[in-house]
Amino acid sequence: MRLLVQLLSLLVRGTALMLGLVGAGMAVASVGGVFSDRLDAFTHAAPLWLVMSLGAVVLGGAFARNAERLVMVALGAVGLLACAVLMAPELWAASRFKPATVAPSDLKLIQFNVWHSNRTPEKSLAWILAQDADVVVLEEGGGDARPIVKALRDSYPFASCEKAMRCETWIFSRKKMIARGGATFEGPYLSAAWATLADAKGPFTVMGVHYTWPVPAGPQQAQSRKLVKLASSFARNSLILTGDFNSTPWSFTLKRQDKALGLQRWTRALPSWPAGKFSRVVAAPAPFLPIDHVYAGEQWSAVRIERGPAIGSDHRPVVVTFRRM
């Protein structure tokens, strides 16, 4: 019995040491993303490094003794500090948002990567229609998600993509589209759609985009630079930009993009991925990565920000209601 207790204690202490070494090491490496795109790829897993570092502090503090305890707790503390540097500004910004009462004149927008492997497109469609949004921005509108796009074309009077074209990113609107456009194929490829909409307070432009994954480093950063250039061709103070950026707010790539765009990002620490059964064998009880974002110029103020349910896609939809100032 005593031997069993000793073995269990050794296992727990070994686990605490492993958590501390990996959590602290990866969190500190992530901070290096400020000067390296390769290291910045590790920042997206900051919640994991946070949990591992916390585990080192708890397990090491409870089961280790003397110098061994000091080492484990110190490793965990270093990891927690590095994660705080990455994540605290975003969490603080999220805590400051105060929703307001929605008015009939407000603009309701849905951002949703409907996923080309959508498992229940009929549920996704029913939910979207039930929201009665003014503007719907979709990514991955092909494959199994094509019925959603087809039905929205019938339900909304204006769409960013011509009927004869196959588009991956879509904008649907109840407001008249004065002008519209889509992806440009000169490198790097950026799946994008934009539409300038008529409004009583003056026309404004909505853009939707879909980025590649952050690994390998390089292509996503190139897409971000291309988006900043594209967005600069529209009136910034009335622009609304949204999409699946495949980039978390604690990454330096997104921090640099936030600054370069000159827009306010209203979705703060709002996890949207993964949702439901996002692969053949793995299901997620709750999303933990905020990678779907909504920006807006200074003419817009968000009065409500919500995350939708898991409805067949590997992303959860995001709903933002704006008021034009």
Distance CA 59, CA 20 (A): 10
**Do 187 and 86 share a structural domain?**
no
**Domain membership flag for residue 253:** yes
**Judgement on whether residues 90 and 133 belong to the same structural domain of the protein:** no
Least confident residue range of 82-96, 102-116, 178-192, 200-214: 178-192
Judged by average pLDDT, the poorest of 11-15, 40-44, 145-149, 314-318 is 11-15
The span from the CA of 52 to the CA of 157, in Å, is 50
Residue 164 has pLDDT above 60, yes or no: no
The answer to whether 209 touches 190, Cβ cutoff 8 Å, is yes
- E strand or H helix at 128, and its extent? helix 121-131
- Report yes or no: 134 and 156 within 8 Å, Cβ to Cβ: no
Q: How many helices (H) and strands (E) does the chain have?
A: 8, 14
Do residues 125 and 239 share a domain? yes
The average pLDDT across 33-54 equals: 97
Per-residue pLDDT at 314 = 96
Encoded amino acid at 38, one letter: R
Residue 101 lies in a domain: no
Closest by CA to 73, choosing from 58, 83, 87, 92, is 58
pLDDT at 185: 64
- Please tell me whether residues 299 and 181 are part of one structural domain: yes
**Domain membership flag for residue 138:** yes
**Percentage, residues of the chain above pLDDT 70:** 97
Residue 209 within any structural domain of the chain:
yes
pLDDT of residue 280: 64
User: Over the stretch 109-137, which tens digit does the pLDDT of each residue have?
Assistant: 999 999 999 999 999 999 999 999 999 99
| Average pLDDT of the chain, as a whole number | 94
Listed residue (193, 198, 226, 206) closest to 300, CA to CA = 206
Last residue of a domain, one of 53, 70, 96: 96
Extract the tokens encoding 321: 């209601």
Question: How many angstroms from the chain centroid is the CA of residue 179?
Answer: 27
Of 96, 128, 144, the residue at which a domain comes to its end is 96
176 and 42 within one domain: no
82 and 201 co-located in one domain: no
Q: Are residues 156 and 23 in the same domain?
A: no
What's the pLDDT score for residue 18? 96
Same-domain status, 189 and 240: yes
How many domains would you assign to the chain?
A: 2
Tell me which residue range forms the domain holding 80.
2-96
* Domain contains 6: yes
Q: Within this chain, do residues 80 and 123 fall inside the same structural domain, yes or no?
A: no
Q: What average pLDDT does this structure show over 59-82?
A: 94
Distance CA 45, CA 100 (A): 32
Question: Quick one: 239 exposed, middle or buried, by C-beta within 10 A (0-12, 13-18, 19+)?
Answer: buried
Highest mean pLDDT among 44-53, 56-65, 280-289: 44-53
- Same domain? For 257 and 176 the reply is yes
pLDDT at 276: 81
Instruction: Decide if pLDDT at 4 tops 80.
Output: no
pLDDT of 272 over the 60 cut: yes
pTM flag (> 0.85): yes
Strands (E), 140-200: 158-159, 170-173, 177-184, 190-197
Q: Are 111 and 292 in contact (CB under 8 A)?
A: yes
